[in-house]
């Protein structure tokens, strides 16, 4: 399976890095099966970026969590991760809380909207995909193929 990672850098050797903000599935190396989505990640600051392409070969021995769609379990997991609660999964896959969905998640976390309101707002968003790698063993399922330079449209 081919996966893409959008970045401001060529990433031949992926890493799990602790960052300032917690992400949907906690700290990890994030990829997607959608090249266009990786391009948005790579150019999100309006500058030159790279779409890094990897061959992904699943390893059945790893601890894997998959969400096929946004669900109650997905929402609870994303909220926990965004609040800084670690998990023990090597790889997590599922829909992405893009900027719009992230705002809804944050409003839900802050108790500004109800769970029902979250689902009403979230149903109008286009499909997204992310797969995050949280351990060295998980990163070993990826083999770098190539990178492609892409450009944002902001100055």
H/E stretch holding 76 reads: helix 72-82
pLDDT at 102: 78
Residue 54 has pLDDT above 60, yes or no: yes
122-143 tens-digit pLDDT = 877 766 899 999 999 999 999 9
Q: What is the pLDDT of residue 78?
A: 92
User: Domain limits at 51?
Assistant: 2-150
**127 domain residue, yes or no:** yes
Torsion angle of alpha carbons 58, 63, 68, 74, nearest 10°? -150
Backbone dihedral region of 24: left (phi > 0), alpha (psi from -120 to 50 degrees) or beta?
A: alpha
* Mean pLDDT of all residues in 54-61: 97
Q: Does residue 140 belong to any structural domain of this protein? A: yes
Q: Let me know if residue 71 belongs to a domain.
A: yes
The answer on pLDDT for 155 being more than 60 is: no
How far is Cα 74 from Cα 66, in angstroms, rounded to an integer?
9
Tell me if 35 is assigned to some domain. yes
Question: How many domains are there within the chain?
Answer: 1
Is 154 a residue whose pLDDT tops 80?
no
Percent of the chain with pLDDT over 90: 70
Residue 155 lies in a domain: no
Among the residue ranges 1-15, 35-49, 116-130, the one predicted with the least confidence is 116-130
Q: Encode pLDDT of 85-100 as tens digits.
A: 999 999 999 998 776 7
* 42 found inside a domain: yes
pLDDT beyond 80 at 120:
yes
Q: How far is CA 14 from the centre of its chain?
A: 14
């Amino acid at each position: 399976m081919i996966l893409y990672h959008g970045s401001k850098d060529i990433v031949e050797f992926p890493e799990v890095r602790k960052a300032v903000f917690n992400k949907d599935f906690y700290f990890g190396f994030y990829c997607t099966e959608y090249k266009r989505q990786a391009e948005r990640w790579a150019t999100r600051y309006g500058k030159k970026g790279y779409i890094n392409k990897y061959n992904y070969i699943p390893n059945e021995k790893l601890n894997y969590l998959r969400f096929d769609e946004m669900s109650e379990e997905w929402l609870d997991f994303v909220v926990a991760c965004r609040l800084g609660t670690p998990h023990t999964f090597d790889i997590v896959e599922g829909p992405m809380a893009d900027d719009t969905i992230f705002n809804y998640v944050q409003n839900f976390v802050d108790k500004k909207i109800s769970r029902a309101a979250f689902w009403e707002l979230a149903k109008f968003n286009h499909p997204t995909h992310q797969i995050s790698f949280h351990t060295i063993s998980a990163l070993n399922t990826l083999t770098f193929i190539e990178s492609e330079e892409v450009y944002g449209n902001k100055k």
